[in-house]
Structure 1
Amino acid sequence: MAEKLAVLGFRIVADEPVPGVAHSLQSKDGAPLDSKASRDGEALVFDFAVRVGHGPKFLGDQVRREGKGRRFVYIRVGQLAGDEKSPWSRRMKVDVHDIAAELLERAAASEGVVEITVPGTGKDGTPACATVPRVMTLSLAMGLEFVPAGRAESEERVEFAGRRNFGK
């Protein structure tokens, strides 16, 4: 029997990005997806769906892989986000492979959204890039508008094989 995967909402918040610089998710085919720029340094929010299975393992249009275990999501910046006139052409790498199984289980049980906040600006005052530090929280879906930019293979939330255990 094939493993059932939980479809969870994920949200990346780029906090205090450089005003006027385009940011986007990276689509399945490598193009910019949901490109937006901050006017005055307000946070940029990117919503997307991720299929999560035992291990945990992460699958989805925005999830990238590196080696056997590392999974991450790219936030494209400047030219890579579709702004050809930008002086920047970079990506932020937001790791998801090491999210605690307990947080994933709570998200699945409550239909919550796993929210990851990253700095939008680097220490040098330019747009953040490379692997960025994260703060993770669980936001309950009630009263929270969640509109995924990409979509998982199945758009409905499914039970995780009758259990809520994402641990190893």
Structure 2
Amino acid sequence: MKQELTLRIILETPLVDVDFALQKGSGTGYHTIQKQRSTARDLSFECTVTVKNRLDGQPDFAGVVVQGTPSNRFIYIDIGASAGQLDTVWRRRLKVPLRGITTEMIDESVSNPSSILETKVPGTGRDGGPACGTVKPFMGWYVATK
């Protein structure tokens, strides 16, 4: 059975004056959505994904922002020029894994209208620029209040 699930990604302390956006689609035909220019505050992105159970019982995610193979799904946050910003030296993407979201977490979030699945990821990398690549260390997803 397919279910709709809302996810929130909080990008903590991103580099100031850089555009960040969710990536919709893949390949050369992708678009950015929810573009935001960073200030001194965390950025927040919300999206809806579809979830169903794979044959092995594990959740599988689909939707316009979902990337990757069934066993390795993720969401891209486009950064700088990748998000359409023309006046920047940054061209990066941050891969936010969907691993660790359990059926129990999904059921709790879907059954309670005031709940949402949330994760927090670093906005600045070790090099002082915007964080990019796969989020490491990834602290995982949790049920939060909307």
TM-score range, shorter chain: 0.7 to 0.9
Structure 1 position 109, deviation (Å): 1.9
Comparing both chains, which one has the higher relative contact order based on Cα–Cα distances under 8 Å and sequence gaps of 6 or more?
1
Letter in 2 for 1:85: D
SS in 2 for 1:128: coil
CA RMSD of aligned residues (A): 1.4
Indicate the structure (1 or 2) with the bigger Cα radius of gyration. 1
Structure 1 position 43, deviation (Å): 0.6
The residue aligned with 2:143 is: 138
Q: Residue 123 of structure 1: which of 118, 123, 126 is its match?
A: 126
The residue aligned with 2:108 is: 106
Matched, 1:27 2:24: yes
Structure 1 position 102, deviation (Å): 2.1
SS in 2 for 1:105: helix
Which sections of structure 1, spanning at least 5 residues, go unmatched? 145-168
Map of 1:20-99 to 2, 5 A cutoff?
20-28=17-25, 29-40=29-40, 42-54=41-53, 55-66=58-69, 68-99=70-101
Structure 1 position 32, deviation (Å): 1.4
Normalising by structure 2, we get a TM-score of 0.86
Structure 1 position 116, deviation (Å): 1.2
Instruction: Write out per-residue CA displacement over residues 43-81 of structure 1, whole angstroms, 9 at most, x where no aligned residue.
Output: 111111011111211011100013x41100000000001
Instruction: Write out per-residue CA displacement over residues 110-142 of structure 1, whole angstroms, 9 at most, x where no aligned residue.
Output: 1321111100001221100000123422123xx
Higher strand share: 2
Q: Could you tell me the percent identity over the aligned residues?
A: 32
How many corresponding residue pairs?
136
